[in-house]
């Protein structure tokens, strides 16, 4: 596959997302600790085929359909930022309507900080 750019909101230190940790274990942080997020009610049930892959968007602006700017500003206080990745191993996951990238081979290229 061609090298392609993707975007994700995750913790800068742990690389963990808001539904699952980097090992693919459900944390549900978005449902409790970060329940201020607009999509805090959204369930993303475990799927074995996603193990080893990170949920992303392939367009920067699309990320804002998942998280509002206000969500991200609050999440940044907890070290969750928008991260840009380059990946060659990726595919579209129909059940959740988003892209996934291989967490082992994708390259984190940038941390994007939003300002008020």
Per-residue pLDDT of the chain (116 residues; tens, 9 = 90+): 899 999 999 999 999 999 999 888 999 999 999 999 999 999 999 999 999 999 999 999 999 999 999 999 999 999 999 999 999 999 999 999 999 999 999 999 999 999 99
At residue 105, the 3 state secondary structure works out as coil
Instruction: State residue 1's pLDDT score.
Output: 83
How far apart, in whole angstroms, are the C-alpha atoms of residue 54 and residue 102? 6
Query: What is this structure's pTM?
Result: 0.94
Instruction: State residue 86's pLDDT score.
Output: 98
CB-CB contact of 20 with 113 (8 Å): no
Q: Tokens representing 76?
A: 């940044």
Instruction: State residue 67's pLDDT score.
Output: 97
């Amino acid at each position: 596959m061609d090298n392609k750019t993707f975007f994700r909101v995750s913790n800068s230190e742990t690389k963990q997302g808001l539904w699952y940790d980097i090992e693919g274990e459900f944390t549900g942080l978005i449902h409790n600790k970060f329940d201020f997020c607009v999509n805090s009610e959204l369930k993303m049930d475990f799927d074995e085929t996603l193990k080893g892959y990170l949920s992303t968007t392939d367009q920067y602006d699309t990320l804002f359909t998942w998280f509002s700017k206000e969500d991200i500003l609050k999440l940044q206080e907890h070290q969750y930022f928008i991260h840009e990745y380059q990946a060659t191993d990726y595919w579209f996951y129909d059940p959740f309507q988003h892209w996934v990238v291989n967490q082992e081979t994708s390259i984190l290229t940038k941390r994007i900080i939003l300002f008020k």
